[in-house]
Amino acid sequence: MAERVPADDGFFMPAEWAPHERCWMAWPCRESLWGDGLDAARGAYAAVARAISAFEPVTMLANAAEVAEAAARCGTTVATQALPLNDSWMRDSGPTFVVDGKGGLGGVDWRFNAWGEKFHPFDEDARIAGRVLEQLAVPRYAPPLVLEGGSIHVDGEGTLLTSEECLLNPNRNAALDRAAIEDLLRRYLGVSAFVWLGQGLDKDDTDGHVDNIACFVRPGVVMAVTCDDPADPNHAILGDNLARLKQARDAKGRALEVIELPLPREARHLDGQRLALSYVNYYIANGGIVMPSFDDANDALAYDIVSKAFPERRVTQVPALPILAGGGGIHCITQQQPRA
């Protein structure tokens, strides 16, 4: 008998703005990744956790030896729990939760290979999703697909947003073509329509995660990152993505309204490598948005654009450059558990 998939049981992935039970995060620990920036990264993760905890419960996972430090730095509004970790990107190593609309909760435990086997070891991170789902005592579905949560975004009404650079990358699923990947996403996330963007940001270690370039704001509305400097490699990349969004139709047949969000004005570099800074890499919480600031001329403009797009939510900006030094943003370090 074929193994059951979420769609068989009436499960689907809800939109990120649906009510949350809590947010899951993981404490920075890979010294080879962070180097001299580890302490600053921990301070930034703690600030994000505290900001989110103003809106919903937060659990910070940490290696047993670091639980006490995580608890002290995050404060009393954030729960801490020991769990073995290699790294700290809960969006990508944690479970993708699914609901059935009738009070049921389940989780998808994707195969995790550290963004195309870029970082070793990753054995503990490959087990995080399963361990969290076991702790919650909810059904676990394990598709034959390497995928990170940051590479997909959904509208909760059947539409999935992703990028070709990431999902079609041979370092993830060399044996699967676009049709096979779409079939698995239909069965495991309950989606029916796909909006494929092209490339992600220039020099993004994730091979083009969509959460750095675009996200749904509500059904029929997408926020997309733009670049107005023709000399920047991102200008052509983001122009192509914008054109694709304007031609797309969602699962309900609607054309998409696109809200444009500029990149930070100033490019930042670490060890000669450009950092993939993006304001769209934010977390949608219960009643709030926690978004990055970069000590940049466009910080206030980005805050205003996001605030207008989410009038019912209070927007909080948290300095995120120490997080970007590790290769990701606020959305990358968080994973929402929807309220069933």
Whether omega for the bond prior to residue 121 falls within 30 degrees of 0, making it cis, is yes
Catalytic site residue from 29, 166, 215, 332:
332
Q: CB under 8 Å to 169, separation ≥6 — which residues?
A: 116, 207, 208
Whether the predicted pLDDT of 338 surpasses 90: yes
Question: C-alpha angle 200/206/212, rounded to 5°?
Answer: 45
Strands 283-285 and 79-82 turn out to be unpaired
Closest alpha carbon to 49 in 11, 77, 87? 77
DSSP, residue by residue, 257-303: EEEEEEPPSS--EETTEEP---TT--EEETTEEEEEE-S-TTHHHHH
Q: Percentage helix, strand, coil, to 5, in the chain?
A: 35, 25, 40
> Mean pLDDT, to the nearest integer, of 272-297?
98
- Domain CATH code at residue 159: 3.75.10.10
* 105 part of a folded domain: yes
| pLDDT at 1 exceeding the cut of 80 | no
pLDDT for 172-211, tens place per residue?
A: 999 999 999 999 999 999 999 999 999 999 999 999 999 9
pLDDT band, residue 141 (cuts 50/70/90) = very high
Domain that holds residue 154: 6-338
What average pLDDT does the segment 140-157 reach? 98
Q: Residue 212's pLDDT is what?
A: 98
- Is residue 52, in this structure, part of any structural domain at all? yes
Give CA–CA dist 51/38, Å, rounded: 20
Q: By percentage, how much of the chain surpasses pLDDT 70?
A: 99
**332 a catalytic residue:** yes
Query: What is the reported pTM?
Result: 0.98
Q: What is the pLDDT at residue 149?
A: 98
Which SS3 state, helix, strand or coil, does residue 226 take? strand
pLDDT at 139 over 70: yes
pLDDT in tens, 73-114: 999 999 999 999 999 999 999 999 999 999 999 999 999 999
Q: Is residue 256 part of a domain?
A: yes
**DSSP β-bridge partners for residue 97:** 107
Contact (CB, 8 A) for 86 and 328? no
**Per the domain annotation, does 197 fall within a domain?**
yes
Average pLDDT over the chain, rounded to whole? 97
Within a 10 A sphere around the Cβ of 182, how many other Cβ atoms?
19
For the chain, how many structural domains are there in total? 1
pLDDT digits (tens, 9 = 90+) for 252-264: 999 999 999 999 9
Using DSSP, how many helices (H) and how many strands (E) does the chain show?
12, 18
1 in a structural domain: no
pLDDT tens, residue by residue, 45-79: 999 999 999 999 999 999 999 999 999 999 999 99
